[in-house]
Structure 1
Amino acid sequence: MPRKRPSPASGQRSRPVAEFLQIEGVSKSFGPFQAVRNVSLSVAKGEIFSLLGGSGCGKTTLLRMLAGFEEPSAGRILIEGRDMAGVPPWARPVHMMFQSYALFPHMTVEANIGYGLKHEPLSVAQRKDRVREMLDLVQLTPMATRKPHQISGGQRQRVALARALARQPKLLLLDEPLAALDKKLREHTQFELMEIQERIGVTFVVVTHDQEEAMTLSDRIAVMDKGQVQQVGSPTEIYEYPVNRFVASFIGAITSFEAEVTARAPGTLTLHVPAFGQEVTTREADFAPGAKVTLALRPEKLVISKTRPPGNAVQGVVKDLAYFGKDSLYRITLASGALVQAHAVNQARGVAMVADWDDQVWLSFDPSAAIVLGG
């Protein structure tokens, strides 16, 4: 039976990390350019772990070092306690699934899946059984005799996955595995990937620039920037409790304001926010009165109303709005000129929007919704 992950909202997805894959102080330089800088990570057996970041952040270089295609300039990589220094790619218990899928166009689905088994110590019957098992796993048995051009993009992705898993690696590396798929197919395939990984229990390390993909797939995420890991945690931890301004702004939408701590009491922090022209309260954080901080607010945490509500509230004018069906996005200009984004969920069918262009509205938020960061 496949294991079941705790709900992301439970905050329990960050479980104790068994030392299956260890990355210890790894750096990689190409001439004067340092692509990866002193990265240390541990990945648990059976975990889906994502390396998330923008182009040039070092995530793919780190993945290539795990695969053995690049050697670290410093540090070491261990898989089940074995140092991978000097171990060639074909001798590692690792397989890499490339973004392009790299399928052979002249071969059938069945032949593509079985290609990597040619040099395995298996009999012809065992190879056939393994291929049949992989076809069943990815639900492509009816497509076994087709060529790659005769199947859909999502099916080609599953062929590449089946070929990668056929050699029974202990660690599967996936480089932007869903980038070639359209949005709806990508969303569907994310859950297929998770179900397959649940069944086989192989450890996945996924490289992606897509925040939603990382949040959906992952047990834990490492957010990278300029070759360094900025934060490691569950999707809930990364989104709700970012450790710095980069992570807060990279994951999801957010609006940030300069602020100063004016008071601290048990459970409460009081901030003066110049852009608001007033004070607001948040949950207590480790900052003393006088500290310069950043107040960050997610659009979905803000409530729009025509009348002033109690608690944290600031007035503004609707500058722009966009209707997305399930929700609407409002861009609201405050008296200070600051621009704030807010989402409103369209819960009832055909109900008028909360506000229209040029309406004066109030934005309010619960103290627990505010993110307070240093400087």
Structure 2
Amino acid sequence: MQAAPLAPAATADDALAQPFIRVEGVSKRFGTFQAVKDVTLTIGKGEIFALLGGSGCGKTTLLRMLAGFEEPTSGRIFIDGQDMSGVPPWERPVHMMFQSYAIFPHMSVEKNVAYGLKHEKMTGAQRAARVAEMLDLVQLTPFAQRKPHQISGGQRQRVALARALARQPKLLLLDEPLAALDKKLREHTQFELMSIQQRTGVTFIVVTHDQEEAMTLADRIAVMDRGEVKQVGSPTEIYEYPNSRFVAGFIGAISTFPARVVRLTGEIAELDIPAMGGIFAARGLPGLVKDQTVTLALRPEKISISKTRPAAVNVLEGQVKDLAYFGKDSLYRVILPGGELLSVHAVNASRAHDGGHAADWDDKVWLSFEPASAILLTD
């Protein structure tokens, strides 16, 4: 589920109008292996920007180049207008928070936060004031004298965050920051991170393989695959308007079907979809032509399921093969007459013993979807 701060620090328009970070044609090779391929990105001041992709897609390599731990093979990186070519990590206005947090087990929470300031030109009083400010920011003041083993995983994550922010970086890089936390704590900490980022105004770049985490945290997301950026956009744009089958399949669950355009009427494209057993309507794309081969994609939550035929534009029948009950909703896997499986999510609006399930195993059902809910893909 996507969530966003009440007042985002930056928007996509801000990022384009006032770029804080510019990545221009950056590539990185390790011998014959190309980890990052000609990446160009613009990131705005105060954004939470996510690099999202599977293992080996190049997202961490790109993060390390921003931090200065790796030099690009080609291309340039600018931070706050300054070319970072040849600038070592310790001279960049950047702090990187690693997945392991790297906090010292023998030091108290307070001393861990203060450690990042030991090379700063500050008096003892200034240093103590900054540490107190950071502990208050991450709500750890009552735990200042505890050792890391005496606090929870989420609190250790906040210690690392406070230490990173204590040096007042212009850019904070977070490499899988919540991967070590359990699901409930991860969800809670996501909102804490968003609140802290909003209060500090520091630009965050988050590397993650977790789609929900990226959708929750980020103002914008770059989806990466095999070293390339496949699409950049807001969570809504990435989810509702993917530009390729890869992005559509990587973000959330989706079912895809080969289709052929048989008629174009205004904004509506009529499609012959053999796997669905007929002609179906979807909102068209600019440039579509008759007889063009496309892919129709459907999100499970965009499909309605019932045991009676609905009065809808797009209707198909099937039989419930599998049913998974999650409490608030249920997932149905419906087998179509041609043998294809279609996943459908339905909210359980009433209690199960009162007929809360829309259908049961082996029931014949009718499925329907609105033309505007279907996604057409040409790539």
Fold-level similarity (TM above 0.5): yes
Corresponding position of 2:201? 201
2:12–2:44 Cα contact (<8 Å) kept:
no
Corresponding position of 2:14? 16
Residue ranges of structure 1 left out of the alignment (5+ in a row): 7-11
Corresponding position of 2:150? 150
Corresponding position of 1:217? 217
Partner amino acid, structure 1, of 2:205: V
Post-superposition CA distance 1:275-312 (Å, at most 9, x none): 01200011121211110000000000000011222310
Partner amino acid, structure 2, of 1:255: S
Partner amino acid, structure 1, of 2:369: F
For the residue of structure 1 that corresponds to 2:60, the secondary structure is helix
1:76–1:83 Cα contact (<8 Å) kept:
yes
Distance 1:354 1:3, change over 3 A: closer
- Higher mean alpha-carbon deviation, 321-330 vs 306-315, is at 306-315
2:308–2:366 Cα contact (<8 Å) kept:
yes
| Matched residue count | 369
- Higher mean alpha-carbon deviation, 343-352 vs 26-35, is at 343-352
1:26–1:76 Cα contact (<8 Å) kept:
yes
Please, what TM-score do these two structures have when normalized by structure 2? 0.96
Cα distance in 1 for residues equivalent to 2:79 and 2:206? 16
Question: How far apart are residue 155 of structure 1 and its match?
Answer: 0.2
Matched, 1:4 2:35: no
Cα distance in 2 for residues equivalent to 1:205 and 1:228? 17
Corresponding position of 2:364? 360
Post-superposition CA distance 1:136-159 (Å, at most 9, x none): 000000000000000000000000
Cα distance in 2 for residues equivalent to 1:343 and 1:224? 27
Partner amino acid, structure 2, of 1:299: P
Matched, 1:78 2:86: no
1:270–1:282 Cα contact (<8 Å) kept:
yes
Corresponding position of 2:296? 295
Partner amino acid, structure 2, of 1:278: G
Cα distance in 2 for residues equivalent to 1:156 and 1:80? 30
Post-superposition CA distance 1:114-151 (Å, at most 9, x none): 10101001111110000000000000000000000000
Corresponding position of 2:376? 372
Cα distance in 1 for residues equivalent to 2:129 and 2:8? 30
- Higher mean alpha-carbon deviation, 285-294 vs 238-247, is at 285-294
Question: How far apart are residue 80 of structure 1 and its match?
Answer: 1.2
2:113–2:162 Cα contact (<8 Å) kept:
yes
Partner amino acid, structure 2, of 1:297: L
Identity within the alignment, %: 69
Residue ranges of structure 2 left out of the alignment (5+ in a row): none
Cα distance in 2 for residues equivalent to 1:86 and 1:66? 12
Cα distance in 2 for residues equivalent to 1:256 and 1:24? 34
1:63–1:173 Cα contact (<8 Å) kept:
yes
Cα distance in 1 for residues equivalent to 2:340 and 2:283? 23
Cα distance in 2 for residues equivalent to 1:311 and 1:136? 56
Partner amino acid, structure 2, of 1:294: T
Matches within 5 A, 1:22-171: 22-171=22-171
Cα distance in 1 for residues equivalent to 2:300 and 2:7? 31
Select 1:333's aligned residue among 332, 335, 340. Answer: 335
Cα distance in 1 for residues equivalent to 2:359 and 2:350? 15
Question: How far apart are residue 348 of structure 1 and its match?
Answer: 1.9
Question: How far apart are residue 3 of structure 1 and its match?
Answer: 7.5
Partner amino acid, structure 2, of 1:314: L
Distance 1:13 1:256, change over 3 A: farther
Cα distance in 2 for residues equivalent to 1:284 and 1:73? 41
Question: How far apart are residue 224 of structure 1 and its match?
Answer: 0.2
For the residue of structure 2 that corresponds to 1:20, the secondary structure is strand
Partner amino acid, structure 2, of 1:84: M
Corresponding position of 2:324? 322
Corresponding position of 2:306? 305
Cα distance in 2 for residues equivalent to 1:206 and 1:282? 35
Partner amino acid, structure 1, of 2:297: A
Cα distance in 1 for residues equivalent to 2:378 and 2:189? 38
Question: How far apart are residue 13 of structure 1 and its match?
Answer: 4.9
Cα distance in 1 for residues equivalent to 2:280 and 2:22? 43
Corresponding position of 2:347? 345
1:265–1:284 Cα contact (<8 Å) kept:
no
Please, what TM-score do these two structures have when normalized by structure 1? 0.97
- Higher mean alpha-carbon deviation, 249-258 vs 13-22, is at 13-22
Cα distance in 1 for residues equivalent to 2:12 and 2:82? 25
Post-superposition CA distance 1:230-279 (Å, at most 9, x none): 00000000000000000000000000000000111112111000101200
For the residue of structure 2 that corresponds to 1:22, the secondary structure is strand
